[in-house]
Each structure stands twice: as C-alpha cells, then as structure tokens.
Structure 1
Amino acid sequence: MIPELVYRNSYIVGYRDVDFNNDLRLSSLFGYFQDTAIMNVEKLGIGVNTLSEKYSVSWVLTKILVEINRIPKWNEKITVETWPHRPKKFEFDRDFRVRDDNGNIIAAAISNWVLLDLKTREIRKSEIISGDYPPLEFTDERALEGRLRKLRPAGEPEVVYKRVLGYSDTDANGHINNAKYIDFIMDCFSIEEHKKHSVRSIQVNYLKEVFPGDTLILYRDVSGAGSNQVYIEGINEADQKPAFSAELKFD
C-alpha cells in the first residue's frame, strides 16, 4: 500500500506561541513546520530514530522560504500540511501549507533538507536511505512559485547585537535549532518596529552549524528597506564564518 503523500497536523495556537499582539510568533510557526515534517517522516518509516540507529544520520533543514498571507492569532485552530518531493543527489525538497479553520491558505513554504552524518558532521548522499524510502506517488505541485536562492546584502551590514548560545537554544542534534534562529532574527528589530510592520515573507539559509558556547554576532542591512526588504546574517565570532543568512520582506 502506497503511503499518503500529504501529511496534516492541526494546532491550537497556544498562549506561549504568541507575541504582544496575540499574533503567532514566527519562530513558533517554524516549530510547527519542523514538528509536522518530523511526524511525516516517522509515518513514512524514515524517522529520526530509524536514521540515527541504522545510518548515524539525521534530517537537517538547510533552506526555507515562507510567504505569509495572514498571521494566525492566539487560540486559533490551524492545520499544517506537508509533502516531500522526489529525492535529489544530496537534497530533499519539502513543501508546507498552513490553513485556517475555514480551509483558507494563510501561509506557505518551500524548504530543503539534507542528511547530516552525526559522527563526521558531513552531508551524506540521499541514496544512503534509498532502501528505506517508501514508494510514493510524488507530485510536482509546489506550495510556492518562488525559489530558494543565495542571499546577499544590498549594502554594508551593521552589528545589531551579540548572543552567547546555550542549552535552551539546542535540539536533539546537539546544535542550534532552526526555529531558534528566527528569534535571533526577530530580535534584530525593536518593539516599535514590530508594532509598525509585519513580516510577509522570509527566507533563511542555514550555512554552518553553531553550538552551545559559541557567540553569534547579528548583523542587519536595511539599505533595501525602501523596498520593504531587510537582510540579516549571523556570524560565528570564533571563526568569523556565517552561520546563517536571511532576507525578510515586510508589509
């Protein structure tokens, strides 16, 4: 029996997941994406424990582009849909849609994942799990027409703040969780800026692992703000290499 391609998970937006406007925090949305994706691969038989025990690898998000039509509110019921695409040599594309209780699409995303070797911290070829990858009737339908791309600043980024990473930032892979970076990004804006503007799209490229004890230097380039676009990047202070880059567009 061929497994169902699209996996759905419903959430009630919790009080801990919203900001001062009772709007769902962007990091919480990324957490919903992550949880739904992990549940989906578990259902497909290629979940976290299976890959760790058989191949010593884990799923890691490398790029994601999210477009938001409307931010859900506290206590609102939403459904996150996700589906995988046919594996490439190293990469696994996965899409998401978020629907409100009336079935309206309020957000959508495309993403890219890889298999990270838990011992060497290197990326492994997708074929390593081909024997366990289930038979699926893959679809070419994408949640967004946009594409994942390299991100570059329009001008000269300036330092906003530094953050020492700790226990609360980590995940099961021992590195900084992808949703935590979203909080780092959103902290590059003042409360007043958040009151005036809402994020309508965000792309994040996860470039290099960082770990507890590392210090991230957050940079911001607002030279594209005239077109409602802001560039953010995080640099590891120890080696001066970028850990992530992001591009946000506001209303």
Structure 2
Amino acid sequence: MSAYCFRRPFWLRYTDFDFKDELSLTALLGIIQESATGSADELGFGYADLKPKNYGFLVVNTYGEIFRRPAFGETVTVETWPLPPRHVFFERDYRVLGEDGQPVAAAASRWCLVDLSTFSLLTGEALGEANTNCPYNPEKSIAVPNWKVPRMQEGKEVYRTVARQSLCDHYLHVNNTRYADLFLDCLPMQALEGRTLQSFHISYAKQAKEGSELALFAEDRGNELLGEVRMGEEVLTQCRFTFRAR
C-alpha cells in the first residue's frame, strides 16, 4: 500500500504575483494552507469536524525553500501529508510541483491542536478515531535547519499598523498567511528589485486580534531579512527570509 499523499492543483492567477512578476509569498502560503485544509477535511479532522468541539489547529512554524519561480497561468500541484504527531506538535510537509512535474518549492509546518475555550494544548488522542485511523506518513519533503528563528541583533522599527478585520480569519485573529506581506513590507521595492526569495521561516508565538496595534521591526542583512511583529513589549511573530540575486 502506497503512503498517503493529498494532491490538489492550483491555477496561478495574475493577482498571485508581485511587482517583479514573481509568485508572492502570501500566495504560496495560501495554496499550501488550502492543500492542508483539503487533506485535513479528507482525513476527518478538518475545520467542520473540529468546530462542534470548539477545537482548532493553529500553526506554530512554517519553513520552506523555493527552487523555481512559476509563471502566470501555470498550474502547480501541491502534495501534502501529515507526519506522526510529536506529543502536542502536529507536523505536515508539502511539495509544490510545476506542470513538468519538477519541484517548485518544498515546505514543512508545525501545528498545535487547541481547545479554543481554554486555549489548552491537546494531543492526538483528542481527535478520537480520526487520529487512530490516520495514515500518518513519516516522509520528509525538506530538512528544517532549526525550528527556532534567530533574534535580531540590530533590529529597528520600520512601521506600525493596526490589525483590521480584513486580515482576520474564522478564528478571529490575523491569518498566518498575511504575515508574509507584513514582513516584506519592511523593505521598499528598490531593496527587493535585485533579489528573489530563496527560503522562508515564520514562527508564530501569539495571535493578533482585530484592533491590535502592531509594530514591525526588521534587520536587513542583504541576503537575509530578520523580522518581528510586536504588540507592546510582546513578540507575536518572527521571520527569517533568505534571498539570492535575481
């Protein structure tokens, strides 16, 4: 019996691309998240399955590497599968393939299952038969160097913004894909023109609700960007992006 793998094609729209005609990180994270949702639905622990219990999966880390930039109108296929849980961490890996079947990107993410009433962390046993019957696949699509994002040494505040309702999802906090734009907006077009994104790592510690005032801090090292979203003295989210020359 072959190992479980969920596959879904995505047609890339013009609105998925940035000012350099490159697939935006937000769009890439979006199709990854959509494929994860489809897989979870298929396996019996999707949003509709968990909502009656007031449970939810919240992402903790997302790491990925980009090998090739797809073109307008190209159809890419995302493959994803859940790995065996590690206590309160649920890992999931992804491959993004081009029309030629060659890899465009690979990614890995860690999630926590949360009781939304108490915000206590749950193990796989809370999923009941969906966990018992889940065809967890131990295959790794990518080696994650370190799940911890390094702190900035010389970070500076770049701008402030307020979390408006348009950034929020059904958990009433800023959706994880939206942080990519918040971080990349720390750099002007001129700084990004000569670089292309090579790898990304976003770590989510706390949630930003509607109305939260967010301060964006960044340290641009040329081939590396370190960033933090802060609310007061709290660090909500961190990133480490690496770039190569275009």
Q: Same fold (TM over 0.5)?
A: yes
Q: Structure 1 CA distance, aligned partners of 2:175 and 2:241?
A: 19
Residue 135 of structure 1, CA deviation: 2.4
With 93-102 and 143-152 compared, the bigger mean Cα shift is at 143-152
Structure-1 residue corresponding to 2:23: 24
Query: Any conservation in 1 of the 2:152–2:227 contact (CA below 8 Å)?
Result: no
Unaligned runs of 5+ in 2: none
Secondary structure of the structure 1 residue equivalent to 2:131: coil
Residue 191 of structure 1, CA deviation: 0.7
1:246 is aligned, of 216, 239, 243, to: 239
Is 1:216 the counterpart of 2:214? The answer is yes
Secondary structure of the structure 1 residue equivalent to 2:238: strand
Structure-2 residue corresponding to 1:236: 231
Q: Structure 1 CA distance, aligned partners of 2:146 and 2:100?
A: 29
Is 1:191 the counterpart of 2:189? The answer is yes
Residue 130 of structure 1, CA deviation: 3.4
Residue type at the aligned position of 1:40: S
- Which 4+ stretches in 1 moved above 3 angstroms? 136-139
Q: 1:206 to 1:79 in 2, by over 3 A?
A: same
Structure-2 residue corresponding to 1:50: 49
Q: 1:177 to 1:3 in 2, by over 3 A?
A: farther
Q: Structure 1 CA distance, aligned partners of 2:28 and 2:158?
A: 24
Question: How many equivalent pairs are there?
Answer: 244
Residue 176 of structure 1, CA deviation: 0.6
Q: Structure 2 CA distance, aligned partners of 1:147 and 1:135?
A: 31
Q: 1:213 to 1:23 in 2, by over 3 A?
A: same
1:135 is aligned, of 133, 155, 178, to: 133
Q: What whole-Å deviation, never above 9, does each CA across 1:181-228 have from its counterpart, x for those lacking one?
A: 111011111111221111100100001011110011000112x43xx2
Q: 1:133 to 1:43 in 2, by over 3 A?
A: same
TM-score (norm 1): 0.92
Q: Structure 2 CA distance, aligned partners of 1:14 and 1:49?
A: 28
TM-score (norm 2): 0.94
Q: Structure 1 CA distance, aligned partners of 2:145 and 2:111?
A: 14
